[in-house]
Structure 1
Amino acid sequence: MKKFLIILIFFPCALFAQTITNICDGDSALIYGSWENSAGTYTNSNGNNTTLIVNPLPVITPNFILNGDATIQPGNVFQLTPALGNQSGSVWNNIQINLNNPFHFNIDLFLGCNNGGADGIAFVLQPISTSLGSSGGGLGYAGINPSFSVEFDTWQNSQYADPTYDHIAIQKNGILNHQTFNNNNLAGPVGFPPANYQIEDCQWHSAVFMWDPTTQTFTLDFDGYQNVISYTGNIVNNIFGGNPMVYWGLTAATGGANNIQKFRFNYELNDTTICQSDS
């Protein structure tokens, strides 16, 4: 009878760390022994990854351009529309971002106090200019082409196949129609969490906008609920014709019904200890 000797060889599993670091534009972060100031993913010799996200400067001027009825309020708040009819406002950052790099914007939205009000706010990416906007049911972004927009819609417009509840949707090229045959409706509409919540409640609400160019995935977290809506696709090529440089901003509008609509920034920047003369 033959006997066989079986030798088992165990290889240790490598555990790779992956972290995210946020800095303001113009700052630097110490990553694996080097000071870095460009957005991207950095890897050390052990296979650990750190993604560096460069956020816009946390100041109102000169980084933001206001249009229409948009105004600056105390506390670094941007009011897009007052509670008046037929208003429209937009606020654009005048520094283009590169969609080949990730971004992570944490923004508080205030969608009004009147549950019968209108029309809503949109977060928009577009390569054209910092002077765009529209009115009424267009939420300030209708007709902006090319564009990638996340709408927070508080009024039912039947011509756009809006649901009966306040909703979120991802649209392209300034077209708001949600009908199934319309390929400009990239995702949604979905109700506000939890359970189609009516969002015009006179409260601030957290919206975190995230873009990962590696997976080509855009994700929205809302009020602590993760991945409320998302879209995966090559938006640089399929929407912006291969141009990764875009302006970003927020728009809003009112029509016959109205609401005060505004936003402010949350900066999730970690405290970092440095030596004198470092940056």
Structure 2
Amino acid sequence: MASSGTFNMHGLRACCPQTLCANPRGLCIARPAFRRSKLSIQSFRSTTNWSTDLQSYRRTHNRKRCHTLAATAETEITVEEDTMERMERSLESVTSNFASIRTGRATPTMLDRVKVDYYGAPTPLKTLAGISAPESTMLVVQPYDKSAMQAIEKAIMQSDIGATPSNDGNLIRINIPALTADRRKEMTKSVAKLGEDGKVSIRNVRREAMKQVDKHEKDGDISEDEKKSLADSIQELTDDYVKQIDKLAKAKQDELVKI
């Protein structure tokens, strides 16, 4: 019977010499010692991810998998990390969309969501032109490719920024009108819709993650208890990201109301 042994940075126990293990280096993972720590969003953003750490540990110690828990541990870590990465991307998209909604002076980010029909492909305007705000009520767009001038002008006119561009053949100037009460209401509704779209995206990630969890249990990669623990962690992530989106949406709406 294996002794208590020692623990590494992942909570995985190294076998003592008396452990019945085929690994010549005397390292394996003993199931009772493993406790999966839940990833926090803050630690995910600021530290090396767990999968990389685990792979590095294996390479450093040239360790073979000698118990099925190695696969179980990595499965849980991978599913949770993948879920967090995808939710983080959804949050970044929502944040970018909110930034494109003007609340005060004109800023280049107002045009972040504008897509131009460039050679038949919808292309972000910011990749086709330099955008500046020389005045608080004006944006200037300088296309890198002058042949795209008309397509850029058309895309701006069809966007939701509520301004008409002026094309002089070299530059496109956009005079940004002051926000009226009606326009503020429209933009507030737009913020609410973008927020809801973001939360739908987060929940879609959760649904896909749970499909992975169900499959891993069906394939025998994780136990029923491990499935429940992993499902709880995924739900916590979902709730955290939904709350962040709600907080961002409220801040943006408050900003619009106070103008």
Instruction: Report the TM range for the smaller structure's normalisation.
Output: under 0.3
- TM-score, normalising length from structure 1? 0.21
**Please, what TM-score do these two structures have when normalized by structure 2?**
0.22
Structure richer in helix, relative to its length? 2
Give the number of the structure whose residues are more often strand, by fraction: 1
